[in-house]
A and B are shown apart, each in its own frame.
Chain A
Amino acid sequence: MAKHAALKHSTHKKRETSGAPVAADAHTSRAKHPAHSLDRLIHERMRLGIISALAANESLTFNDLKHLMHTTDGNLSVHARKLEDGGYIACTKSFEGRLPKTEYKLTAAGKRALENYVSHMETLIKQVRNR
């Protein structure tokens, strides 16, 4: 049982890091519900915040994002790495004098993902209002 739960968990994590929207079972009626085709990669609060902040700026440094999101270095790196692996943000590393500088930009895929996510949320709200 525990093994099964662990397997389920790892499958979920794999989906989460892949960047692809979680596809629901096509044979069930639940699949038609917009909540089941959510992009789990940006559904997480911190990652949604990173994407939103980058959507409002051409680029932001690691420190800018840390300050904006009120988070720690470790937490930000983990979530930024997931978004980078999913192709939603691009990271460039350089030196400003002797200090290393990490800069993040939103990619076209990231912008599309945020637009899709917002439209999903709007669909969910509309469905309840139309009931």
Chain B
Amino acid sequence: MGSIQLVTPQQEEPPALHTRAMDNLQYIRETMERATAFTAISGWGLVAIGLTALAAALATGFIAGQQKSFKNWLMIWLAEAVVALLIAGWSIDRKARATKTPLLSGPGRKVAFSLSPPLLAGAILSLVLYRSGSTNAIPGLWLLLYGTGVITGGMFSVSVVPIMGVAFMALGAATLFAPAVFADWFMAAGFGGLHIIFGVIIARRYGG
């Protein structure tokens, strides 16, 4: 007959005070980073991007009246994309300096990594659609994928950023199902209107 032995469960040592202190400091840093991911986005920068997008939409409309070609349309919007990228870079850097937050800190990197895959997918799909002659789908695709990128990038941030992404996605879906003649209007409403509206909200509520 075997004897009964008391088995005392092996209790884990509670974490040392200094370990908990380090954990708490890391938690504070991570929460602040998460909260500042949002403030890194410059509201006035978005307004400026919206205005240049409206100018691009006007230019495509003007050229469409004179010499309508997809190549011209594409060149104008690609030029607008470069201008928008420069404005975004400059305004985010300016705001980061003003709020004394490092530009390439954790949240900045997270936003950049979340935003770039959908944009890259958009560039590749645009090329495929261009080669297959289905250029009518390109404006809707751009709005849809840009919205996707804003939602994923905005997941590290406060609610207004993903909401902007949802608005872009809804507009993109509407563009894909609407007649192609309205594409420029949707582009103006999205890259122009939505950037201006959300830019003003961000600038007013989150310091510039």
Contact residues, B16-73 vs A (CB, 8 A): 16-18, 21-22, 24-25, 27-28, 31-36, 38-39
Q: Are A56 and B36 in contact (CB under 8 A)?
A: yes
Tell whether B102 is near chain A: CB-to-CB under 8 Å. no
A102-131 contact mask (Cβ, 8 Å, vs B): 1 or 0 = 000000000000100110111011011100
Residues from chain A with Cβ under 8 Å of B18 in the complex? 124-125, 127-129
Q: Are B27 and A45 in contact (CB under 8 A)?
A: yes
Residues from chain A with Cβ under 8 Å of B113 in the complex? none
Taking CB as reference atom, which chain A residue is nearest B24? A121
Residues from chain B with Cβ under 8 Å of A114 in the complex? 28
Classify the interface of chain B: helix, strand, loop or mixed: helix
Tell whether A85 is near chain B: CB-to-CB under 8 Å. no
Q: Are A52 and B32 in contact (CB under 8 A)?
A: yes
Categorize the interface residue count of chain B: 20 to 34
Taking CB as reference atom, which chain A residue is nearest B159? A67
Q: Considering the chains assembled together, what is the distance between the CA atoms of A46 and B165 in angstroms?
A: 28
Q: Are B17 and A124 in contact (CB under 8 A)?
A: yes
Tell whether B112 is near chain A: CB-to-CB under 8 Å. no
Residues from chain B with Cβ under 8 Å of A63 in the complex? 159
Tell whether A22 is near chain B: CB-to-CB under 8 Å. no
Q: Are A68 and B22 in contact (CB under 8 A)?
A: no
Tell whether B78 is near chain A: CB-to-CB under 8 Å. no
Q: Are B36 and A128 in contact (CB under 8 A)?
A: no
Contact of A57 among B21, B22, B36 (CB under 8 A): B36
Tell whether A64 is near chain B: CB-to-CB under 8 Å. yes
